Structure 1
Amino acid sequence: MPNIEQVSREELKRTLPLLLATPGGRAASRTAVQAFQDYVHDPRIRWEAWRIGSVDRAVALVLALLLPGSTAIVLIPVPAELGIRAVEQQELLRTTLALLGQRGLYFAQALILPKAHAQKNLLESAGFRLLAPLTYLERDVRYPWVDPPQVEESAWLTFGRQTYDEFAALLLETYKESQDCPELTRLRPIDAVIAGHQAAGEFDPALWEILRVDGVSAGCILLAPLRDGRTVELAYMGVAPAFRRRGLATVLLRRALAQCRRRGARRLTLAVDERNEPAKRVYQRNGFQVTTQRDAYLFPFQSPGGSQAG
């Protein structure tokens, strides 16, 4: 068995050009490496990385980001490129998953380019399965501008200690018959789901809102400002089944855009399951443009039960 060594904090920057490389043998740029390094310095995110070979001549690498909500994002380089050897990479990935399985995680995910066939084969050989093809979209929050439509007998509630249970119950309700990554439903408790969303960016409870209609929780938006100060991510938007097909998704989305404008942000970004046609139509009608695509892969761990959500 090849010698597996842990990557230190000092060594991480030297391994990132390989870990972030794209198919075709193109190592990541200095800008991409620095941006990613800034991201992993977030105190809420723990990471662990392992290698086979020396730091400067690694033949296999894995980086695991351990996220709030007891999940992980796994990054792997492209096998058979830039000195990475497929056999050693497969062995290291399997060893990493065994180690992560001891961390009390609910699942791990990996995001790769749609045509990254070598990475796809490696992930599947280690037990990952395709979760969903994801489409990333964004739009300028300033132009074109349409005021949010008004809903009769409605009110907005923000996230807080007194509304926590209402948010949790509504999130569970919006997952019913959802077309956005339904495979994640019931993989972890709702408290872990909320913790994961809170870590999506800069958490501001004023940007988490419930829309009540006739006194009933109908839908919600969870917004996460990003580090650049100009971009906000729509971490989640959902409508309860009883209120679907009534135009509330557009109400929620335009509310999100209005909140971004008030904050002085310039862009709103989001990711959507490519299979979720109703959501894609709402985003397209509201001026969102596709920026990139990724395939999301899932590796579920055996974890303690509880009130499961997604």
Structure 2
Amino acid sequence: MNSLDVTSHHSIGQVPIVPSGGPIQTDVALPAERAATLALLFQQHSTKSRAALFRWAGELFHENPAVFDGLFRTSVNGQVSGAIWAQPGPGNQATVWLPEFLRGVTDQESLAKGLVEILDIWLRGRLRGLSFLSAKCLNAVGLRAFLELGYWHLADMSRMAVRIDETSLVPEDCLEGECRGLGIRLTPYQSKDRTLLINLSEAISKESLDCPALSGIRDYGNVVDSQLHRQGCTPSHWRIVWIDYEPIGAVLVSTHNSLPHAELVFLGIVPAARGRGIGRQLIRHAKHLAATAKVQSLSLNCDNDNFPAISTYQRAGFQSVGRSAVFVKQYE
């Protein structure tokens, strides 16, 4: 099978109840099983969203056929009945879709444990040191399975998004004037700015309400490099924020070559520059950058406990569109 055949799964309305009993097998999803396995992982979404997710998965496969190497399934009597998926990214990071099961599957606790165990073995060969897993499609069974295997639940994240249209595009002279009024200027990121951005990211993390448990232990070089080397993404809409000749913040909007969406992967300012309205201006600038990239929406992840940031994003038009959880584990 040379492509992802999902035509028979786009219109799934009711996921069938699995037959009871029979032999249980947990292994990597074979090419012929991938569509059914993905259908399980996407089953909580609307029909329209499932179709979009299948298109997205197909685009990922087209860019990198190895993207399904971390797609595992549990089968009962030869029928795909449970699923889990991990997508390692650059650096010590991975995105994980937590276990999902067909309706009627019994003993989901032990089946989820089996799926997480085989995934953990697979990840051990790909991640090193302190590693971060962003878990999608949260459910209690999957969360417990990860905790039982020694993963540390670091934070719950709120996924937020805002629609981007012509009103998001602000005349350059207007933006520059607004920035001058706050005493700041923004410059495009260049490759020579890597070390500057690493040091700036570490400084911004101090006194931050976003995943404060990571302060002092996270490798910010790894963080920056993981964003720079994300497959299909470009840093052409990244900006460094300055007051006079001192870097005080960053706004990083990443776009993907084949997707009509952008992601605000980082926005922050150092503690000494907070409380002046700079953050609100940077959000406005981020929406403008997304508009220049001609995308339809801009999304971000924010720590659920960072109430000031969530409130600021909401006032800027962002709405909650989902949840995720961040797990941490030390791999040898």
User: The TM-score by the shorter chain falls in which range?
Assistant: 0.7 to 0.9
Query: 1:280-302 CA deviation, whole Å, 9 max, x = no partner?
Result: 22212222233x23140403123
Query: Which residue, 164, 172, 179 being the options, matches 1:150?
Result: 179
TM-score w.r.t. length of structure 1: 0.81
Q: Does residue 141 of structure 2 align to residue 118 of structure 1?
A: yes
CA distance in 1, matches of 2:296, 2:50: 25
| 2:287 aligned partner, one-letter code | L
Q: Which residue of 1 aligns with 2:120?
A: 97
- Kept in 1: contact 2:70–2:87 (CA 8 A): yes
| Structure-2 separation of matches of 1:206 and 1:129 | 34
Q: Tell me how far apart the structure 2 counterparts of residues 137 and 33 of structure 1 sit (CA, whole Å).
A: 21
What SS is found at the alignment partner of 2:180?
coil
What residue identity is the alignment partner of 2:167? Y
Mean CA deviation greater in 202-211 or 145-154: 145-154
Residue of structure 1 aligned with 2:302, choices 272, 292, 309: 272
Please state which structure has a larger fraction of its residues in helix.
2
Gaps in structure 1 of 5+ consecutive residues? 304-310
Q: CA separation in 1, counterparts of 2:121 and 2:259?
A: 38
Say if 1:45 and 1:158 are closer, same or farther in 2 by CA, change over 3 A.
farther
Partner of residue 224 from structure 1, selected from 242, 254, 260:
254
Q: Which residue of 2 aligns with 1:307?
A: none
2:225 to 195, 208, 225: 195
On the 8 A contact 1:44/1:67 being kept in 2, the answer is: no
Name the counterpart of 1:63: 85
Q: How many pairs are equivalent?
A: 298
In 1, distance between residues paired with 2:283 and 2:264?
9
Instruction: State the match for 2:329 in structure 1.
Output: 300
Q: TM-score, normalised by structure 2?
A: 0.76
Closer, same or farther in 2 for the Cα pair 1:188/1:57, shift >3 Å?
Answer: farther
For 2:42, the equivalent position in structure 1 comes to 20
Q: Name the aligned partner's letter for residue 331 of structure 2.
A: Q
Root mean square deviation of aligned Cα: 3.2
- Residue 53 of structure 2 aligns to a residue whose secondary structure is helix
The change in CA–CA distance for 1:284 and 1:63 in structure 2 (over 3 A counts) is: closer
**CA apart distance, 1:10:** 4.8
Cα shift readout 1:210-239 (whole Å, capped 9, x = no counterpart): 011021001101111245654221111011
Measure the CA separation in 1 of the matches of 2:51 and 2:78. 16
Q: Per the alignment, in what secondary structure is the counterpart of residue 266 of structure 2?
A: strand
Structure 2 unaligned residues grouped into runs of 5+: 1-22
